[in-house]
Homo-oligomer: A and B are copies of this chain.
Amino acid sequence: MALSTAQRAATALRDRIQAGVLPPGSRLSEEALGRDLGVSRNTLREAFRLLAHESLVEHRLNRGVFVRVLDADDVRDVYRMRAVLEGAGVRAAAGAPPALRAAVGAAVDEAERAAAAGDWREVGSADLRFHRALAALAGSARVDAAMDRLLAELRLAFHTMPSPRRFHEPFVARNRTLAGLLDGGDAAAAEAELADYLRHALRLILDAMREADR
């Protein structure tokens, strides 16, 4: 037992949330979930704190914990922060270790392979890996951790996307373009491409959210 019971309960909940079994807005009843997962209320509460730390869940005093709901403002802010972290990575690309630079290209390769196979779910996660690799170029553990939290949050919003293909397909080519600019050492162009990419992706998500609201 390398992990505590609370950590295992948190993992079980995290899986259910990201699989969509517990959709955003759901209230997580301590009694029902505790019975379901076979842990006591106190332990479940510790698990809740862990998930709250990851912003997957929101704790409201005396009202319980709820699966996080991202509104349009949240999504806009997530993209602002993405621009900060990924932008830092892109600017640091020239001086970054070869291993980190290679990870960027590898993620693009995987996305292209998955796209060719029509596996859009895998395209999505390769896309996340690509952008995580961009931020990692900054060479900071804290930037990496912040990026991970950010992407976990973003995954919540992806649940409202109707067609994974329509959302991910346009970005495979853009990722390739961006990786090419980085390899070529054209930092300014890479930064501009990244900024435009993020604007584009943000617009698609916001459109989908407006759509889903009706």
The chain A residues found within 8 Å of chain B, CB to CB, are 3-4, 42, 45-46, 49-50, 52-53, 61, 77-78, 80-81, 83-85, 87-88, 138-143, 146, 150
Task: From the candidates B81, B140, B141, name the one contacting A140 in the complex (CB within 8 A).
Answer: B81
**Count of identical protomers in the assembly:** 2
Interface of A is mostly: helix
Flag if B142 contacts A78 (CB, 8 Å): yes
Flag if B84 contacts A138 (CB, 8 Å): yes
Q: List 9 A-B contacts (CB under 8 A).
A: A4-B61, A46-B46, A49-B50, A49-B53, A80-B143, A81-B142, A84-B138, A84-B143, A88-B88
With CB as the reference atom, state the residue of chain B lying closest to A2.
B61
Q: Which residues of B contact A45 (CB under 8 A)?
A: 46
Q: Which residues of B contact A87 (CB under 8 A)?
A: 88
Q: Which residues of B contact A84 (CB under 8 A)?
A: 84-85, 88, 138, 140, 143
Q: Which residues of B contact A78 (CB under 8 A)?
A: 142
A3 to B115, CA, bound (A): 50
